[in-house]
Amino acid sequence: MTAWRLLLTRPADDCAALAEQLAGHGIFSSCLPLLDIVPLPLSDTIRQAISRLPACSAVIVVSKPAARIAVDLLKSEGTAPLSMPWFSVGAATAGILREHGLDVSFPADGDDSEALLQLPRLREALDQSGAQVMILRGEGGRELLAERLRALGASVEYLELYRRDLPAYPSNELPRRIEAERLNGLVVSSGQGFEHLRQMAGDAWPKIAQLPLFVPSPRVAELARAAGAQTVVDCRGANAAALLTALRECPVPFSNAKDGYVSETALPKDDVQPALDAQVETPPPAKEPRRGNGLAIVALLLGAAGVAIGGWGVWQVRHLQSNTQQQSSQVQALNDQAQSLKLNEQRLTERLAQLPGADELAERQRLVTQLQGDQQRLNQRLETVLGASRKDWRLAEAEHLLRLASLRLSALQDISSAQALVQGADEILREQNDPGSFAAREQVAKTLVALRSTEQPDRTGLFLRLGALRDQVIDLTELAPEYKDRGESLLGLTSDGDGASRWAQWWDKVSRYIRIDFNADKNVKPLLAGQSLSQVRLALSLALEQAQWAALNGQAAVYTQALAEARDVLKGNFNPDNPQSKVMLEQVAELSKEPVTVKTPDLAGTLSAVQGYLERRNVNAEESVKPFAKPAANAGQEATP
């Protein structure tokens, strides 16, 4: 692997660090930085994006420059360490963020977007409702990562912190460097770095594309193959360990002496030179005795043996170098693991430092034990109180039902409702299963019998029948009596036989307004004018309406008086032989006989019996609790230190 001669194109600081690590493994490298990291000016857009960081479900940092600039921005803006999960593509980027106190996760088996998306912690963050992810990066790049995140249902926002510029070099610097230093491999760290490599190659790109090209991810590898690179090696990471692993697995090319580029079929001169130096020059053929021929054969045998020994030595050296490189790779991997363990140890130490001391833990344990004991005692008392309280509530409900029944009887004389309420109180007393409630239940039973034997007046029916009579009032009409002249009027006294006198004419006109009948034994009612008839109808309707109100409210006196007034109106204003008034008089007389009130049982005794039972029960409960008061006080004294 020491035959590799690589061109490194990372930014200057990263390029120097990688060259130092490769030199430790005996690999020659030449630094030609093709990326110049230029931080973007601090704008309002960047400040607003930083202010939205606390609302994000995850923050992803894709490069070390992005991590350094982000840390500097958080310090300059005075932002405290954020509690949301942070993610990075590689371990080096994670180390920069952890130095600032951030909780960072990174994939251990790769330095690309695919490995990052497989992290369980990132998947957990993306499973949140309305997950928001912010990607910290340079201008452009990592579009595949954003697409995959959006496909998983997350909202993605970019925070671009820097741009990658191409440093100023002479136009032929890249081909000249490759040819002058006999380089046989190219290393790029990003897609932008590869674009700058092609730009610097210019017309020499077809020849440079023949060199092995080491890239950090499948995305950059696809980009290189599309551009014409012939040998593209995906390192599956941008760190030194990934590059060393790829160099070990890739066949080592060598420089062609003619054009300065590489070939994979010829052996390098340095590898052939030891075998050539081991050959022994044979003497020119000459006619010598048989003895000289024997010496020549011996010399040839010795030369062949030397070549064999030299080849074996070269093979041993290469074998030792391969073993050394493997061991170096293992050491590097162990160093990376040690660094990760050290970071974990620091985090655990910080968390342990935040834990309380032994004395404080003992005090907390004592308080927890005391709290558990108090809670158990409270639970026992609560169960006792709730068990008794439920019965008290039910008995209070029974008393309330009896009060309601008494109110219904006294105010509305509602027998049915009062009976249902008393029945409910009796069922509550029966549920107690207490011999002390016998007297109360006895009074309740007597009340139920009295209510069941009391007939409920049909007030609704009376109200409806009176309403029907009110509807018939509008149809009442007067009965006009007929006047019959029997020749006995005063006209006969004033007439002289021919009816032509003035007195006869005057009397005829007056007779149109006044008629006198001397049959005083007949009860003839005067005729009612239109306005007087309306007033009589209104008076009759009001009397019936008053009777309706009295029927609904159980007012017997008002009911009787209202029907009497209705009967007087009918008799005083309509003739007895009027069919309408006659039928209405009969119905009013029939309704006046209907009862609208009833004598209700008195519930005072029943209510007093139930209240007495409740008072006796409360006294017994208080006496049963008193013996427990003293032990509880003693327990409190024992618990006091």
**Pair type for strands 254-255 and 262-263:** antiparallel
pLDDT for position 291: 52
CB 591 within 8 A of CB 550: no
> What number does CATH give the domain 5-33+170-266?
3.40.50.10090
Least confident range from 39-43, 303-307, 619-623: namely: 619-623
Query: What pLDDT is recorded for position 264?
Result: 43
CA distance 494 to 474: 45
Q: In this predicted structure, what is the pLDDT of residue 352? A: 80
Q: Tell me: the pLDDT tens digits for 337-354?
A: 887 788 788 778 877 877
Query: Does the pLDDT at position 631 exceed 50?
Result: no
For residues 636 and 629, give the distance between their C-alpha atoms in angstroms, rounded to a whole number.
Answer: 11
Q: Where are the domains of the chain?
A: 5-33+170-266, 36-165, 364-455+600-639
- The pLDDT assigned to 9 comes to 92
Alpha-carbon torsion, ordered 503, 508, 513, 517, to 10 deg = 90
**Which of 173, 182, 177 shows the shortest CA–CA distance to 259?**
182
Helices (H), 235-357: 240-249, 269-277, 290-354
Structure tokens at 205: 């790109």
Class in CATH terms, 364-455+600-639: mainly alpha
Least confident span in 110-119, 322-331, 629-638: 629-638
The pLDDT of residue 514 is above 80: no
Q: Which residues contact 592 (CB under 8 A, 6 or more apart)?
A: 560, 563, 564, 567
pLDDT value at position 382? 74
* pLDDT at residue 236 in the model: 83
For residues 67-76, average pLDDT: 87
- What mean pLDDT is reported for the chain? 79
Q: Residue 512 — very low, low, confident or very high, per pLDDT cuts 50/70/90?
A: low
Q: Could you identify the residue written with the tokens 């020491």?
A: 2
Q: Which long-range contacts (CB under 8 A, 24 or more apart) does 195-202 make?
A: 196/9, 196/34, 196/35, 196/164, 196/166, 197/9, 197/34, 198/227, 199/166, 200/34, 200/166, 200/169, 200/173, 200/174, 201/174, 201/175, 202/171, 202/172, 202/174, 202/175
Containing H/E element for 416? helix 415-432
pLDDT of residue 272: 34
Tell me the CATH number for domain 36-165: 3.40.50.10090
Q: Please, which pLDDT band fits residue 32 given cuts at 50, 70 and 90? A: very high
pLDDT mean over 279-296:
52
Residue 460 scores a pLDDT above 70: yes
Report pLDDT for 633. 46
Mean pLDDT of 231-259: 77
> H helices of 26-140, where?
44-51, 64-76, 91-98, 113-117, 120-126
pLDDT number for residue 186? 95
d(CA 232, CA 186): 10
Q: What local confidence, expressed as pLDDT, does residue 81 receive?
A: 57
Per-residue CA distances from 627 to 203, 365, 621 (Å) = 108, 33, 11
Express each pLDDT in 590-612 by its tens digit: 888 888 777 788 888 888 888 88
- pLDDT by residue (tens digit) across 139-167? 876 677 888 899 888 999 999 999 888 89
Radius of gyration of the chain (CA): 60
Whole-number Å distance between alpha carbons of 390 and 394 = 6
**Listing from the earlier edge strand, what are the strands of the sheet with 28-31?**
28-31, 5-8, 185-187, 212-215, 231-234
pLDDT over 70 at 48, yes or no: yes
Range with lowest mean pLDDT among 242-246, 458-462, 557-561: 458-462
The reply to whether domains 5-33+170-266 and 36-165 share a CATH topology is: yes
212, pLDDT greater than 90: yes
Q: Which residues, other chains included, contact 75 with Cβ-Cβ below 8 Å and sequence gap of 6+?
A: 100
Extract the tokens encoding 36. 């110049």
Average pLDDT over residues 278-303: 60
With a cut of 60, say whether residue 70 has pLDDT above it.
yes
Number of neighbouring beta carbons within 10 Å of residue 144: 15
Give percent of the chain above pLDDT 90.
15
Amino acid at site 152: L
Flag whether pLDDT at 451 surpasses 90: no
Q: Report how far apart the first and last C-alpha atoms of the chain are (Å, whole number).
A: 78
- Which of the pair, 466 or 503, is modelled with greater confidence? 466
Q: How far is CA 515 from CA 379, 493, 526, in A?
A: 103, 15, 12
The lowest-confidence range among 108-122, 375-389, 426-440, 561-575 is 375-389
Position 574 pLDDT exceeds 80:
no
- pLDDT of 280 reads 35
DSSP state letter for 183: -
Q: How confident is the model at residue 314 (pLDDT cuts 50, 70, 90)?
A: confident
- What's the whole-number mean pLDDT along residues 293-304? 83
Taking alpha carbons only, the member of 559, 562, 543, 540 closest to residue 551 is 559
